[in-house]
Structure 1
Amino acid sequence: MLKDILKNLQDFLLHPRQTWPYPRLVLDTIVSGLTLFMIVILTLRLFGFGDDTLFGENGMLETLQLVALGAATVVAILAAVRLRPAGRFVATTTALICLVFFLREIPSCKPDLALACVPREAHRIVPTACGLLLLLQAFLMFRTSPIALLRMMHPAFSWPLIFVGSLLFCGQLFERLHYQAFEEMIELTAYVGLFLINAWMFKSSYRVNIWHGISEMAGALLQRLQTSNNHRR
């Protein structure tokens, strides 16, 4: 029995049934993020802005990161509305992740900072609520179709989020080393990556069969939800 389990696990890991259909994501993310970073830096340098304005707390780059995260969240929500149930699960997951990081980039309100801030409690309540929602939808997906959930958790499919997470981890390392420029550059690139993921999902919502590989074994409930969704359209 143990041999069968190990064999099935090996087959699952080495022979994925579904891979992420946007293989150029890494290249597009790095090129787009670095290009945007260089354009902003060079443009603002020409106008005489210093390091504090560019890299400081609530500086121009952090504002740009908020714009990227806000756009990524909105696009993910739009994608979740249009996608099939399996794709909706992925889009909702990325939307919640974007929301958590969006809130993370907004400073807590202080006596000397009353605008463009959120209450300190929000930095605990919102991530906790998003985490619970992620667990809830993962549980519902598991109840509906364990196969579909496992396919979406496989590294061959979930590697874009792993890639973005690796970038953010590197950004945290540079923050601890007090390299603000590298920190802001890497975080901006990571958030651009989240936007590209969500933009691709929104684009894929107009292509009928793009999520069929995951949804084909998603179980009766997913099929009913898909049929209902098609009727609404």
Structure 2
Amino acid sequence: MTTDSDYSPDVIRGEVRLKCLPTYIVLDTSSSMNDHVELLNKSLQDLHKVTYQNPEISEFAHISIIVFNTEAHLALPMSDISQVTQLPRVGCGGRTEYAKVFERLRERIDIDVPALRAADKLVLRPAVFFMTDGAPTDGFTEQSRQTDERIWKAALSRLVDPDWERHPHVVTFGFGSANEHVLGTVATLQAFIAEDGADQSDALTDVFTFLLRTLSISATRNNFVVPTAMEGYRAVELEEIS
């Protein structure tokens, strides 16, 4: 799937300005991911190594990493990955609060896009790769033992509001106890869920493999391109925010 196909490069003094894709890797680091924290960190280091050694990708995709559990944390500010010598380690714990990360994403996009433009980048619409192994816990209390989907849906609506010029494309990946309905609602472009019975470690590895493949294809075509099929996963139908 290709996006922003009508986006033409600017020509200044006879030179074509390369496009820049603000890329947000959003990771669920709630307590359910504890058993996979080492694999998660290794996958991030492998991602860094490949992109660091591939100038075509690092020139096209500037990367930020946001992790979320009970709160949302900026693990890596928007960066030219070729200038980053090492990624921070992430830890896991807490709940799965979706609204917090949607709010942080909108906040960061409003900071990052102007900064990239000020650096004379031809900025494409931001891309969010959202990975989770569980359902949102927004609104959960010990008394009610229930969640309130209105909380995260309101924050999501603000993030993907088409009237906001910088609203991002969102691609979702779910494994473990992820909810298919939620994945389809959060995504704006593609949603994937691991095949039934898939090993969670393999599913996590497959996400990073797909992410690298997507960035490589996109960099080659100088445009954001998302494959429609993914190893170990099946596509989920997109849903409206209701």
TM-score computed with the length of structure 2 as normaliser: 0.29
Please say which structure displays the higher CA radius of gyration: 1
* Greater helix share, structure number: 1
Tell me which of the two structures has the higher relative contact order, counting C-alpha pairs closer than 8 angstroms and 6 or more residues apart. Answer: 1
